[in-house]
Chain A
Amino acid sequence: MTDVLIVGLGGAGGIAADVLTRAGLEVTALEAGPRRSAGEMTLDEVRNDVQAWLCAPKALGELPTWRTDPSGEAGAAAWPLAMVNGVGGSTSHYPGLSARFHHWNFAPRSTTIARYGASAIPAGSTVADWPVGYDELEPFYDAVEHAIGVAGRAGNVGGERHTGGSAFEERRMRGYPLPPLRRTGWTELTADAARGLGWHPFPAPAAINSLPYNGNPECTYCGFCTANGCYRDARGSTDATAIRRAEATGLLRVETGARVLRIESGVDGRVTGATYVQDGRERFCGARAVLLAAFTYENTRLLLLSRSPAHENGLANGNDQVGRHYMAHVTPFAFGRFPGRRLNLFNGTWSQATCVDDWNADNFDHAGLGFIGGGLLAASHEFKPIAFAGFPPPPGVPHFGSGWKAWLADNAQSVGALSGQMECLSYEDNRLDLDPRARDPYGTPVVRVTFRVGENELRGSAWLAERQEEWLRAAGADRVWHAPGPFVEARHCYGGTRMGDDPGSSVVDRYGFAHTAPNLGILGGSVFPSSGGHNPTLTLQALAWRTAQRLAERWDDIAGGAPVRVAKSI
């Protein structure tokens, strides 16, 4: 028996472990993957990006299937979906772009209706306000930024605008703990161009050490950051930060190679622990409270697989809400050629970037545009050779043969790229459930995604693509072209266990605890009522901190009874 059982010791679970052990609670974490070390990380694109070896222990064997038609058959997705299995989870391979959400992201429905009228909500959309707002989350954003080490330049400290940071940043209590990552020729060129357009560029906030922090060294801009673990622990992944602190308390027990089969619950509906397989043996770990933190897809799958007399339709699924309101990001990608210039982008990290939030959230007037929402645009480093050669060449250039080689030889060092993250609203038909046919290697159904990109998202994505073209031209590109789309970034995945006050339309309450299993907390993007147009991790970590803190503060109410250590000492 443990006080708190965390299922999945990744970006969210790692933060919760830190918070709970600081509060003196005994925590056991079941992690399906191994514990890896910086010394295992190599600058090898095949191993990291092509083979996705960090995702291999489990996630690659249970990839969700994908369909766009709610009555059609699901097949292999055309885009990556896998998380990392291992201590630290996907924070051990993400480039750590860590911008906070805007006020609008927490109230997209009511703000849209107030500004544009009810007809601006797209037909079929279930977009909802969050039961928590930015101001309530701000202290948790701040806590996470300082716990993992976010490098950036503040734009709004205590209501006072700071030049150089984001002009659209909401009020923060203090600045970032680290200065921005190194500015480069490309990030300055694109920042100047954006300013020339009247936009408001800012250095990407990144969970990467621009200077030594947390006892870890600074980034050396190796160029093999995304899809790889850091070779020197210079990233603010939870395995290099929060989890280390939690283990140092002596209160965190980490079980690796522990594949959870189901979360168990009693006749009263409360959860009692989890059954898992480790070293080929089925085991049970009992707990007073369980935090499910296994990534959006696996959170949903484990709930649906965890049936019991009190939860016949799956854990916390009495109202058929588990799996609903699934969202991702649509990511327009644009290229520009800068003739005669060597841009030197085959190095650095993706979050060594200039960002623009002028076209995100409700930071611009949407009247007459035919869509709501928007997304972050970024001009990044970290081209890698296989990825670059796989980029579509501009129209008119052949995709193979001597013409293609000549294009690469003449232009590979003169191409820059812009990414975008178009927010996706939730829709009635877009959801997750269990695939009736596809199984993982253990014979368990995998998740089936039903997701059609909405008209709102297509229009918004096209709008962002036009802004990308403007930006690249302003920076001096003589040719601009776009990747074929829409491309869905499904590793930015949301919903499935929506947070809300109404049990009829959500799975967890405003603090992240299941409406019908009050000692079960759910952490991760699966609780987001809307996707936002920023990368998810910082926000889901702020929510995880808040849920864990609530659990510690309201221990008797939520967990029912004294913590293990107290009980032992009696």
Chain B
Amino acid sequence: MTSALGRGSAALLDAVLERLIPEDEHGPGALAAGVPRYIEGALERGGEPAVERWEAGLAALAALAREVAGGDFAALAPEAQDRVLGLAAGGGEAAFFAELRQRAIEGMFCDPSWGGNAGEAGWRLLGYAGPRHVWTAADQRIVEAQPAP
């Protein structure tokens, strides 16, 4: 939960992030990976204008959830949450949704020193072992998949 945002907005953001990047058979979701922590840092660095934009954007998302699904986003069934997010992505909230999704991706796949990608959960999802200074010729070959047993 973030502190740059108000309590209600932060709780809504957590719910949205976990729906964008859910915990499932492919590994941890946004919350376990610390994505809210990354976004909190980004908003603090962005200062008042960033926080205000996000408060407004999240309020609009909350209103959209009530309008199309009749309830608080966090309390909706996953399918209803997806419907709200899909409408946000393609409708009047598209710019904010795009920014939110971009920040969520940053938080999921960043260097863990920024607070997100805890346990390198995002990098493991991509099959990426993390940065290193030297890559050899062997590292840059194409590896054919092993034939199925």
**Chain A interface residues (CB < 8 Å from chain B):** 43-46, 50, 182, 184-186, 189, 220-224, 231, 340-344, 346-348, 381, 385-386, 388-390, 399-402, 405-406, 408-409, 412-413
User: Are B106 and A46 touching (Cβ within 8 A)?
Assistant: yes
User: Are A224 and B21 touching (Cβ within 8 A)?
Assistant: no
Instruction: Enumerate chain A residues within 8 angstroms of B20, measured Cβ to Cβ.
Output: 400-401
User: Are B21 and A45 touching (Cβ within 8 A)?
Assistant: no
A399-B101, A400-B19 as given contacts; A221 in contact with B109, CB under 8 Å: no
User: Are A223 and B109 touching (Cβ within 8 A)?
Assistant: no
CB distance from B9 to the nearest CB of A (A): 19
User: Are A222 and B106 touching (Cβ within 8 A)?
Assistant: no
**Chain B interface residues (CB < 8 Å from chain A):** 19-22, 24, 26-27, 82, 85, 89, 101-102, 105-106, 108-111, 113-114, 122-123, 125-128, 131-135, 137, 139-145
Q: Which residue of chain A has the shortest Cβ distance to B137 in the bound complex?
A: A182
User: Are A186 and B110 touching (Cβ within 8 A)?
Assistant: no
User: Are A413 and B127 touching (Cβ within 8 A)?
Assistant: yes
A184 vs B126: C-alpha distance in the bound complex, in angstroms? Answer: 20
User: Are B24 and A405 touching (Cβ within 8 A)?
Assistant: yes
User: Are A341 and B145 touching (Cβ within 8 A)?
Assistant: yes
User: Are A390 and B145 touching (Cβ within 8 A)?
Assistant: no
A221-B135, A400-B20 as given contacts; A348 in contact with B125, CB under 8 Å: no
A340-B144, A344-B142, A402-B22 as given contacts; A386 in contact with B110, CB under 8 Å: yes
28 CB contacts below 8 A, A to B, read A43-B131, A43-B133, A44-B113, A45-B110, A45-B111, A184-B140, A185-B140, A185-B141, A186-B140, A189-B142, A220-B135, A221-B135, A342-B144, A347-B140, A385-B122, A385-B126, A385-B128, A386-B110, A388-B109, A389-B105, A389-B108, A390-B102, A400-B20, A401-B82, A405-B24, A405-B125, A412-B126, A413-B126
User: Are A223 and B144 touching (Cβ within 8 A)?
Assistant: no
Instruction: Enumerate chain B residues within 8 angstroms of A340, measured Cβ to Cβ.
Output: 144-145
CB distance from B34 to the nearest CB of A (A): 13
Partner of A400, one of B27, B101, B135: B101
Partner of A401, one of B19, B105, B114, B137: B19
Instruction: Enumerate chain B residues within 8 angstroms of A223, measured Cβ to Cβ.
Output: 131, 135
User: Are A342 and B101 touching (Cβ within 8 A)?
Assistant: no
CB distance from A414 to the nearest CB of B (A): 9
A347 vs B135: C-alpha distance in the bound complex, in angstroms? Answer: 7
CB distance from A352 to the nearest CB of B (A): 8
Instruction: Enumerate chain A residues within 8 angstroms of B133, measured Cβ to Cβ.
Output: 43, 220, 222, 231
A399 vs B106: C-alpha distance in the bound complex, in angstroms? Answer: 15
A46 vs B105: C-alpha distance in the bound complex, in angstroms? Answer: 11
